[in-house]
Structure 1
Amino acid sequence: MTTCKNCNAEVNFNYCPACGKPSNLKRIDRHYIMHEIEHVLHLERGILYSVRELLVSPGRSVRHFITEDRSRLVKPVIFIIITSLVYSLLNHFFHIEDEYVEFNENQKTTTGLLFNWVQGHYGYANIIMGIFIAFWAKVFFRKYHYNLFEILILLCFVMGMGMLFMAVFAVIEGVAHLNVMSIAGYLVVIYSSWAIGQFFDGKKAGNYMKAFASYILGMLSFLLLIVAAGSLIDAVIRH
């Protein structure tokens, strides 16, 4: 009999009966690392499975995840972090974004610095923009009684897929030297509008228009916030 190092309870088995911690930790080796990677990626119902489901029926898949079975898809926060990381790595490798996202100014301002951060960290900025899109989706689809956090889960999956679309087109442009990133931008807007509209009620055509409006207004709100915050900071500094 041993004593649990976590809660000091007496342990007769492989796991503590009080807190569930293992009585003996295994050494960290190759098998441990592989197990951790499989756990994070949730490979039995992992990234590839989730991407397939989100390509075929994104709205229905996310709705099913929220209301019925949360083991079908990768956890939403992990999904958007991984997809944003994939896009960011490919973007920096091929230097694609420098050609399409550019903010020039004669005099350095805080607004310019903020836009430069967005340019250099588009994957993370996209996550923040998802919050604004979720707010507008809540406004347009308030009769469906989904709370803001449930809509944020939807946006994690939608924005994550958007990052994958951008990543695929970044590879195409970087390898084939074809100017296709602008096409990726349109595709992301179309996909996002389709996914959001399908989530609430795909049988109503008007929902896709509301979804499109939510996406555009969310993006504009994010950009306006950057301009307002930058202008306010510059005004405070000048005085």
Structure 2
Amino acid sequence: MNCTNCNNKVNHHFCPNCGQASKPKRIDGHYIIHEIQHVLHFERGILFTVKGLLINPGQNIRNYISGNRSRLVKPVIFIIITSLIYTLISHFFHIEEEYIKYEGSEKSSVFKIVRWLQANYGYMNILTGIFIAVWLKLVFKKYKYNFFELLVMLCFVLGIPMLIYAFFAFIEGITDIRLLNIAGIIGVIYVIWAMAHFFEKMKTVNYFKALVCYVLGLITFFIFIFAIGITTDVLTKH
């Protein structure tokens, strides 16, 4: 028979080319449960990743970049999942309605872009990470990490604050105690701490450099967003 994945000839239980089972299991309830368990598995899934990023983010991320990629969740999947968790909790309890107020024309492109970003935190974090990575590349250039390695690091690092926000949003939702501002402060502290750990945690100056890169990354990101929105409005009016 031929493999259903790569069409290579298969004579055993698994394809010698891509490794897929010669007779894949039918998708049913057991399959879905197994996939969920695989994602959450403490040894190789999101729980292990969260633990590693909370205890020793620098070493774990460096290990991933250097080639040990079997135990941590893939960075893009990690940041999308963590962002989705926060988005679901925030929308369920209507948390952000108390914090974020939009003023001005709802027809403006800037307004539409910001609303889209608010509804898609996973993509927003990746886009934000791009700008922060540029500054990290400039400020920490002596460490010889390329842009994409820095972006991978940021996908891991920016995913943890999403879980912090999700936790505080859940507590706020059931207690009505305003906590999201506190979560924001904790999230920023974590990001600065984790980025400094990634480069060299014993150098105090790295914490200041990480803070500068984070702030400049956010500023340039929002300048870019406003520039795109304003340019779009100007072009569509003519």
TM over 0.5: yes
Which segment drifts farther, 60-69 or 178-187?
Answer: 60-69
Q: Is the 8 A contact 1:41 1:74 kept in 2?
A: no
Q: What letter is aligned with 1:171?
A: F
Q: Does 1:140 align with 2:139?
A: yes
Partner of 2:7: 7
Q: Is the 8 A contact 2:131 2:221 kept in 1?
A: yes
What does residue 100 of structure 1 align with?
99
Contact 1:87/1:123, CA 8 A, preserved across alignment: no
Percent identity, aligned pairs only, is 51
Counterpart of 2:198, as a letter, is F
Alignment size in residue pairs: 237
Cα pair distance change 1:235/1:56, threshold 3 Å: same
Q: Name 1:168's counterpart in structure 2.
A: 167
Q: 1:115: which partner in 2?
A: 114
Kindly indicate whether the alpha-carbon contact (under 8 Å) linking 2:85 and 2:166 is maintained by their aligned counterparts in 1: yes
Comparing 181-190 and 43-52, the one that deviates more: 43-52
Shift of 1:188: 1.2
Distance 1:98 1:66, change over 3 A: same
Secondary structure of 1:74 counterpart: coil
Unaligned runs of at least 5 residues, structure 2 = none
Aligned pairs for 1:22-41 within 5 A: 22-41=21-40
User: Under a length normalisation based on structure 2, what TM-score does the superposition of the two structures give?
Assistant: 0.91
5+ residue gaps, structure 1: none
TM-score calculated relative to the size of structure 1? 0.90
1:232–1:203 distance in 2 versus 1, CA, 3 Å? same
TM-superposed deviation, 1:123 = 4.1
Q: Which residue of 2 aligns with 1:199?
A: 198
**Does the CA contact (< 8 Å) of 2:40 and 2:47 recur in 1?**
no
Corresponding position: 1:232 with 2:231: yes
The farther-off stretch of 193-202 and 115-124 is: 115-124
Contact kept in structure 2, 1:110 and 1:231, CA below 8 Å: yes
Q: What do the CA deviations read for 1:145-201 (whole angstroms, capped 9, x no partner)?
A: 001111111101111001001101101111111111111111111110110011001
Letter matched to residue 7 of structure 1: N
Q: CA distance change for structure 1 residues 155 and 89 in 2, over 3 Å: closer, same or farther?
A: same
Tell me, what secondary structure is at the counterpart of 1:45?
A: coil
**Residues 17 and 157 of structure 1, relative CA distance in 2, 3 Å threshold:** closer
Indicate how the Cα distance of structure 1 residues 25 and 211 shifts in structure 2: closer, same or farther if over 3 A, else same: same
Distance 1:193 1:115 in 2: 24
Report the alpha carbon displacement of residue 222 of structure 1 after superposing the two structures with TM: 1.1
| 2:39/2:46 contact within 8 Å kept | no
Stretch moving more, 127-136 or 86-95 = 127-136
Query: Which residue identity does 2:236 align to in structure 1?
Result: I
Residue deviations 1:51-75, cap 9 Å, x none?
Answer: 1111112122211221252223222
**Whose Rg is larger?**
1
CA contact (8 A) 2:43 2:71 kept: no
Deviations 1:132-152 (A, max 9, x none): 111111111011000111111
Asked if 2 retains the 8 angstrom alpha-carbon contact of 1:131 and 1:152, the reply is: yes
Tell me, yes or no, if the aligned pair for 2:133 and 2:154 is still in contact at 8 Å: yes
Whether the 8 Å contact between 1:42 and 1:74 is mirrored in structure 2 is no
* Residues 1:227 and 1:35: Cα distance change in structure 2 (over 3 Å): same
Aligned twin of 1:16: 15
Give deviations 1:44-101, integer Å, cap 9, x for gaps: 3222221111111212221122125222322212211110110010010011112112
Moved more, 131-140 or 102-111: 102-111
Distance 1:91 1:107 in 2: 22
